[in-house]
Amino acid sequence: MALFKKGKYTFVNLAKKKDIPRGLWTKCPDCGELIYNKALKENLKVCRKCSYHFTLGAQERLELLLDKGSFRETESGIIPIDFLDFQGPKSYKQKLVEEKKRTGLSDACIVGRGRLKARELILGVTDSRFMMGSMGSVVGEKLTRAIELATKSRLPLIIVSGSGGGARMQEGMFSLMQMAKTSAALCRHSQEGLLFISILTNPTMAGVMASFASLGDIIIAEPKALIGFTGPRVIEQTIKQRLPEGFQSSEFLLEHGLIDMIVARKDLKDRIALLLQYLTK
């Protein structure tokens, strides 16, 4: 038999597997689709299969919403400090240094003046990449100054919220104070009869949602965004009850009247421009 006529050793020639470069593909966390990164970027970081909206950084938000070259940042010189000498697995000072290096931001917020389809406005954006977009004293101060600038200049105000971290625990009461400060500034803006559009993205939670993010004259959310005060798991453990399907999603909150509309990312600039046309002089 041929089996017994073989030599003592059998050599198998295996072709060397060609190395595939890392960072070319991203897996959609919603549907599991594997997406080529270039195609994902071309589609504004939205999954073509299930319409899941990936996180955008603050700079990407500015490019998405504002006319090219029109944005002028304000309050860029304000930086966070460690009031409390907070110590944890990492000190607050160390955490701030790492976050700045990783994101290129000085904190989780950018504010300034720009134009959207030639209409001048004041815009603030929180960025969930920097400490989950949590609101410390700098974020609160930047947003408050932006609101006050909008009031003084009699301009519409837009704030895009991407804050899953709520109030920043490393700053304690200083952080919680920002909820009242931003809300009071928005009250004065409203008393002047000026427009505030709040845009909620995934995730918008806790102290941010419990303050300025929920105070818009018009509240817009991106599809499938997680929006609420505390996470559904914590709520279920507290009340010992099962929550409804889709609880705290944009779609659930629209159905129950907490937000005014859900707008896909590709349509957001046009929709805001239409609202500005209708609701401002």
Nearest to 279 by CA among 159, 145, 68, 119: 119
The identity of residue 48, as a single letter, is R
C-alpha distances out from residue 279 to 12, 138, 194, 275, Å: 74, 31, 9, 6
| pLDDT band for position 4 (cuts 50, 70, 90) | low
Read off the pLDDT of each residue in 107-125 and give the average, rounded to a whole number: 93
C-alpha distances out from residue 188 to 78, 147, 151, 159, 242, Å: 23, 9, 8, 16, 40
- Looking up tokens 């990449």 gives 129
Residue 48 lies in a domain: yes
Residue 3 lies in a domain: no
- At residue 158, the 3 state secondary structure works out as strand
Nearest to 260 by CA among 222, 226, 219: 219
67: DSSP letter = P
**Using CA atoms, how far apart are residues 46 and 63, in angstroms rounded to an integer?**
16
The identity of residue 49, as a single letter, is K
- The answer to whether the CB of 131 falls within 8 A of the CB of 168 is yes
Residue 44 lies in a domain: yes
Q: Kindly state the tokens that stand for 55.
A: 């996180």
Q: Are residues 48 and 106 in the same domain?
A: no
Q: Are residues 250 and 267 in the same domain?
A: yes
Residue 236 lies in a domain: yes
Structural domain total, the chain? 2
**Using CA atoms, how far apart are residues 146 and 150, in angstroms rounded to an integer?**
6
Q: Kindly state the tokens that stand for 38.
A: 């270039």
The domain of 77 spans 56-279
Q: Kindly state the tokens that stand for 137.
A: 């004293």
- The answer to whether the CB of 231 falls within 8 A of the CB of 246 is no
- At residue 199, the 3 state secondary structure works out as strand
| pLDDT band for position 263 (cuts 50, 70, 90) | very high
The identity of residue 254, as a single letter, is L
Looking up residue 147, the CATH number of its domain turns out to be 3.90.226.10
Cα 13 from chain centroid?
A: 51
Write down the pLDDT at residue 262: 95
Judge whether residue 17 has pLDDT over 60. Answer: no
The angle subtended at Cα 174 by Cα 84 and Cα 80, nearest 5°, is: 70
Read off the pLDDT of each residue in 19-32 and give the average, rounded to a whole number: 77
Q: Are residues 124 and 231 in the same domain?
A: yes
Q: Are residues 246 and 214 in the same domain?
A: yes
Q: Are residues 28 and 163 in the same domain?
A: no
C-alpha distances out from residue 42 to 60, 138, 269, Å: 12, 33, 16
Residue 98 lies in a domain: yes
Judge whether residue 215 has pLDDT over 90. Answer: yes
Q: Are residues 222 and 159 in the same domain?
A: yes
Q: Are residues 154 and 42 in the same domain?
A: no
Q: Are residues 44 and 183 in the same domain?
A: no
pLDDT in tens, 66-93: 999 999 999 888 888 888 888 878 888 8
**Using CA atoms, how far apart are residues 110 and 231, in angstroms rounded to an integer?**
26
Write down the pLDDT at residue 22: 66
Q: Are residues 48 and 184 in the same domain?
A: no
Q: Are residues 36 and 114 in the same domain?
A: no
Tell me the whole-structure pTM to 2 decimals: 0.83
